[in-house]
Amino acid sequence: MSRRLFFSVLILTVAVGACGKKSATTTTAAATTKATTTTAAPASSTTSTTIDPAKLKSDDPKAVALNAAILTADELKAGGFDVKEYTGGTPNGPLNLDGVVNAFGNAIYRDPLTQGQAQFGAYHAYEIVVPGQPQGPVVAVTAVKFASLDGAGVFLKNATQIATVVAGGKLTDHPGTQIGVNPGVVPECTASCTLRVMTTPQPPTEANVGSIVYQNGVYYLVAVVSAPGTISDDVVLKLMVGQDMKYQEAKAQLGF
């Protein structure tokens, strides 16, 4: 799958309902998934020739702090996910607004991000190592700081409409799992939701994603892209729980 298509369609899946307020109490434990036996469609790691990655990065101390609040490879490994760093068109690390737009893969998201008063962000992608397979599923975590919870909600609502109406994504509500704060903009989601959407027809690939929103306007998109049916909702939810735990540990140092 081409890098550009991978990230463009991934972002059509960006918004799924964030969730009711509840502290996470479990770890990022590995879940059984067919990904261990099924080949995931390859995703190219070539760097864009039209965008200089250096122009997408930020040295804003707040963006650097947000970057430090994203799960690391070592933390994912401790949770049972054997991963290695994945390099795509968006550089891993703190991002300026242009970098955030690039992480979302399509300029159509600049307006929703601007309407929500997105300020800066951070991004990390990892490949799950599948023994005997040349390419494993890709885990991507995008963090964005909006001006407020309402601002994050504006973005979440608009992006969810694109994900479901334009891309044909399917939402699944998980009432027993509540992570973050529910801004009340996705009626289908009474708690944490996951969303599945096809990303490429040949070879077929699918993104399974979840969103987390916090009272201070911090937003996380946790996404896993792999062959259809190989990543269970439980895997995405466990990654979201792990990301929530990382945020809770780091929020006192964020400064916003």
Q: What is the pLDDT of residue 155?
A: 97
- Number of structural domains (the chain) is 1
> Do 191 and 222 meet the contact criterion of CB atoms below 8 Å apart?
no
Backbone φ and ψ for 83, nearest 5 degrees, come out as -125, 160
The model's pLDDT over 20-54, given as tens digits with 9 standing for 90+, comes to 333 333 333 333 333 333 333 333 333 334 689 99
The C-alpha atoms of residue 256 and residue 223 are separated, in whole angstroms, by 25
CA distances to 115, 167, 228 from 41, rounded to whole Å, are: 35, 19, 9
Q: What is the pLDDT of residue 50?
A: 67
Domain that holds residue 154: 3-254
Q: What is the pLDDT of residue 94?
A: 98
**pLDDT of 11 above 70:** no
The model's pLDDT over 48-85, given as tens digits with 9 standing for 90+, comes to 346 899 999 999 999 999 999 999 999 999 999 999 99
Of the listed ranges 13-22, 67-76, 90-99, 163-172, the one predicted with least confidence: 13-22
Banded pLDDT at 163 (limits 50, 70, 90): confident
The model's pLDDT over 235-247, given as tens digits with 9 standing for 90+, comes to 999 999 999 999 9
Q: Could you tell me how many residues make up the chain?
A: 256
Pick 39 or 195 by higher pLDDT: 195
